């Protein structure tokens, strides 16, 4: 699969973020967008607090790694039947 990515430095705007920060300015964050070559517009977005000045390859690698981990976790859960597990209390 081939995708294009864009990374922008933004300041997210929400009341909860402003209340949680000190000072007049909100902290800058990365906005990473994936735009597959076959799609007319971007399909996925991520916010990241990685430091500025990073090459684009670093956040792209990290979001792809996260997808791989989530995919493997779903497969393991399905294979071991953990998706159907219900907690039980056993008396000794």
Q: Where are the domains of the chain?
A: 3-84
Residues lower than pLDDT 50 in the chain: none
pLDDT of residue 58: 87
The predicted structure's pLDDT at residue 11: 82
Residue 9 contacts residue 30 (beta carbons within 8 Å): yes
pLDDT in tens, 31-50: 889 888 888 998 888 888 88
The predicted pLDDT at position 88 comes to: 63
């Amino acid at each position: 699969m081939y995708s294009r990515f864009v990374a922008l430095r933004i300041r997210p705007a929400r009341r909860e973020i402003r209340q949680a920060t000190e000072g007049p300015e909100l902290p800058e964050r990365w906005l990473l967008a994936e735009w597959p070559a076959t799609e007319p517009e971007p399909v996925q977005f991520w916010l990241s607090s990685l430091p500025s000045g990073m090459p684009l390859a670093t956040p792209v690698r990290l979001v792809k790694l996260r997808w791989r981990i989530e995919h493997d976790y779903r497969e393991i859960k399905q294979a071991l039947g953990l998706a159907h597990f219900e907690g039980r209390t056993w008396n000794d």
